[in-house]
């Protein structure tokens, strides 16, 4: 078992996502919205009738409450369920890649791209509703693809269970994306309308059945106010934010930029692989490529049209399927092509330049915060450019080894990430803008003896 590459990927992920265990830095103040709900459930054991966070689904608060039993005020315990979702994503990425392509090298390269990407590390260390929903939506798409290929009802059953679990974190998003995915895959595989409608019905039934006990309990406890908030959370939030005086946000380009940033340090792979005629031709020839596009493009397009505030985690659903597609394309048609590798070198310069401009603008925009912690700023620049250089070096100098044994390069990335999180942990105890986040979370939490049952 310990010689299996998946073990190395999981160990890398666990260490990078856990360090420095204590004090564990959390960087998103919105965690304070649901943390007290998880803490109260941990203390009372009221899974169904307990309080809710703005009528969001209960998955993350249930999972976090379980680990808060061990350490009721620990940030690491607060994130541990989210961390496990990240590890599940690693396992699924390797499994689906191996199962779909039947190539060990492709599975290693794809999983390597996933675990070393900025979006994976960030979202697995930032416990919010979207990451658990993303991982279970990814499980749904992967098992549904296997069902379509092998016509095995077992895979259909697992996919339905997966999307039902994910919906308990993001109800309408999981339901909507799953139905859209079934629609497009039915067109791609030319399935009958009856089978398409049947599967859509099974998805709706699975999601409704699993959510019904919690929904009914919340309705009986909170009445019409819960229903009103639940409906708005799953419909109206698409139009605009729930904040007072919020307006429609039309920055449609925002999420596309987040994709390029989130996929760092492999952004030049995306640009070199996807923006060319050869890739378009492969999409026409390979049905699985079309299916993977159907798994993530609708999310990117629809969310870009949303008038809500554009936060990177809102399109977390895009990344797993995108990386699954990217990994196979780079393995099969990219790294073996000298022209592609040369293009990657050129794209590295553009990516580095783009990144340098973005970081400089952000440093100027948040000049006051940058002045509070120059070490943090240096750490961000150092992390991103070291990761980018590491990826460029492996493509330029070790592309043969990267193609077949990508896991051998993991520990170079680990050093970069661990150094940064060491700096972040240190600065989170002294930099005011980071202390504000911790104060927000701490204010929402109470000592175990102070919870009123």
Average pLDDT on 294-314 reads 87
Which pair of tokens denotes residue 281? Answer: 């031709």
Task: For residues 216 and 49, give the distance between their C-alpha atoms in angstroms, rounded to a whole number.
Answer: 9
- What pLDDT sits at residue 61? 94
- What pLDDT sits at residue 263? 94
**Confidence check: pLDDT of 245 > 70:** no
Which pair of tokens denotes residue 371? Answer: 């002045």
**Confidence check: pLDDT of 308 > 50:** yes
- What pLDDT sits at residue 447? 54
Task: For residues 25 and 121, give the distance between their C-alpha atoms in angstroms, rounded to a whole number.
Answer: 13
- What pLDDT sits at residue 9? 97
Averaging pLDDT over each range in 183-197, 254-268, 347-361, 424-438, which range is the top one?
Answer: 183-197
Which pair of tokens denotes residue 73? Answer: 């005020």
Q: What is the pLDDT of residues 267-300, one digit of tens each?
A: 989 988 998 888 999 999 999 999 999 999 999 9
Average pLDDT on 156-166 reads 98
Give me the half-sphere count of Cα atoms (radius 13 Å) on the Cβ side of residue 189.
23
Task: For residues 307 and 304, give the distance between their C-alpha atoms in angstroms, rounded to a whole number.
Answer: 8
- What pLDDT sits at residue 1? 62
**Confidence check: pLDDT of 412 > 60:** yes
**Confidence check: pLDDT of 432 > 60:** yes
- What pLDDT sits at residue 180? 97
**Confidence check: pLDDT of 166 > 50:** yes
**Confidence check: pLDDT of 173 > 90:** yes
For helices 193-222 and 224-234, angle between their N-to-C axes, nearest 10 degrees: 140
Task: For residues 317 and 305, give the distance between their C-alpha atoms in angstroms, rounded to a whole number.
Answer: 16
3-class SS string, the chain: CCCCHHHHHHHHHHHHHHCCCCCCCCCCCCHHHHHHHHHHHHHHCCCCCCCCCCCCCCHHHHHHHHHHCCCCCCHHHHHHHHHHHHHHHHHHHHHHHHHHHCCHHHHHHHHHHHHHCHHHHHHHCCCCCHHHHHHHHHHHHHHHHHHHHHCCHHHHHHHHHHHHHHHCCCHHHHHHHHHHHHHHHHHHCCCCHHHHHHHHHHHHHHHHHHHHHHHHHHHHHHCHHHHHHHHHHHCHHHCCCCCCCCCCCCCCCHHHHHHHHHCCCCHHHHHHHHCCHHHHHHHHHCHHHHHHHHHHHHHHHHHHHCCCCCCHHHHHHHHHHHHHHHHHHHHHHHCCCHHHHHHHHHHHHHHHHHHHHHHHHHHHHCHHHHHHCHHHHHHHHHHHHHHHHHHHHHHHHCHHHHHHCHHHHHHHHHHHHHHHHHHHHHHCCCCHHHHHHHHHHHHHCCCHHHCCC
Higher pLDDT, 430 or 83: 83
Q: pTM for this structure? A: 0.94
Higher pLDDT, 110 or 222: 110
Q: Is 128 exposed, middle or buried (0-12, 13-18, 19+ CB in 10 A)?
A: buried
Q: What is the pLDDT of residues 119-159, one digit of tens each?
A: 999 999 999 999 999 999 999 999 999 999 999 999 999 99
Quote the radius of gyration of the chain (alpha carbons, Å).
22
Averaging pLDDT over each range in 72-81, 212-221, 318-327, 397-406, which range is the top one?
Answer: 318-327
Which pair of tokens denotes residue 271? Answer: 């640009």
Average pLDDT on 242-251 reads 70
Place of tokens 């340090």: 265
**Confidence check: pLDDT of 23 > 90:** no
Average pLDDT on 197-208 reads 97
Task: For residues 365 and 17, give the distance between their C-alpha atoms in angstroms, rounded to a whole number.
Answer: 29
Task: For residues 136 and 103, give the distance between their C-alpha atoms in angstroms, rounded to a whole number.
Answer: 24
**Confidence check: pLDDT of 55 > 50:** yes
Q: Is the CB of residue 396 less than 8 Å from the CB of residue 345?
A: yes
pLDDT tier for residue 453 given thresholds of 50, 70 and 90: very low
Mean pLDDT computed over every residue of the chain: 91
Q: How far is CA 260 from CA 110, 255, 350, in A?
A: 17, 9, 12
């Amino acid at each position: 078992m310990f010689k299996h590459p998946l073990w190395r990927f999981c160990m890398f992920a666990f260490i990078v996502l856990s360090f420095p265990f204590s004090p564990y830095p959390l960087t998103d103040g919105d965690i304070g919205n649901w943390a007290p709900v998880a803490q109260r459930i941990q203390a009372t054991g009221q899974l169904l009738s307990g309080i809710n966070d703005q009528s969001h689904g209960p998955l993350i608060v249930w999972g976090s409450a379980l680990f808060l039993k061990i350490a009721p005020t620990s940030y690491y315990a607060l994130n541990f369920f989210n961390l496990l979702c990240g590890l599940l994503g690693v396992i699924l990425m390797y499994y689906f890649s191996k199962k779909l392509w039947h190539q060990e090298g492709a599975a290693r390269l794809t999983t390597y791209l996933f675990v070393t990407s900025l979006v994976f590390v960030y979202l697995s260390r930032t416990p919010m509703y979207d990451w658990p929903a993303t991982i279970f939506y990814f499980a749904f798409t992967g098992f549904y693809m296997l069902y379509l290929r092998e016509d095995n009802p077992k895979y259909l059953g697992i996919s339905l269970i997966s999307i039902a679990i994910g919906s308990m974190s993001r109800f309408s998003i999981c339901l909507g994306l799953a139905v859209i995915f079934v629609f497009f895959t039915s067109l791609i595989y030319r399935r009958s309308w009856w089978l398409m409608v049947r599967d859509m019905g099974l998805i709706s039934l699975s999601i409704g059945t699993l959510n019904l006990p919690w929904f009914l309990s919340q309705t009986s406890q909170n009445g019409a106010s819960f229903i009103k908030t639940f409906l708005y959370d799953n419909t109206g939030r698409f139009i605009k934010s729930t904040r007072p005086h919020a307006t429609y946000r039309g920055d449609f380009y925002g999420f596309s930029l987040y994709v390029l940033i989130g996929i760092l340090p492999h952004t030049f792979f995306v640009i070199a692989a996807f923006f060319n005629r050869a890739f378009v031709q492969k999409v026409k020839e390979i049905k699985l490529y079309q299916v993977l596009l159907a798994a993530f493009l609708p999310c990117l397009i629809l969310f870009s049209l949303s008038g809500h505030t554009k936060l990177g985690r809102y399109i977390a659903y895009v990344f797993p399927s995108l990386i699954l597609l990217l990994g196979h394309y780079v393995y099969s048609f990219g790294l073996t092509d000298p022209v592609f590798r040369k293009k990657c070198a050129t794209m590295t310069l553009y990516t580095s330049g783009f990144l340098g401009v973005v970081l400089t603008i952000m440093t100027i925009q948040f000049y006051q915060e940058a002045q509070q912690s120059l070490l943090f700023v240096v750490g961000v620049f150092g992390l991103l450019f070291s990761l980018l250089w590491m990826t460029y070096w492996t493509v330029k100098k070790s592309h043969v080894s990267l193609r077949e044994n990508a896991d051998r390069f993991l520990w170079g990335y680990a050093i970069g990430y661990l150094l940064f999180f060491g700096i972040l942990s240190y600065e989170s105890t002294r930099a005011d803008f980071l202390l504000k986040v911790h104060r927000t979370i701490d204010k929402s939490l109470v000592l175990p003896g102070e919870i009123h049952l």
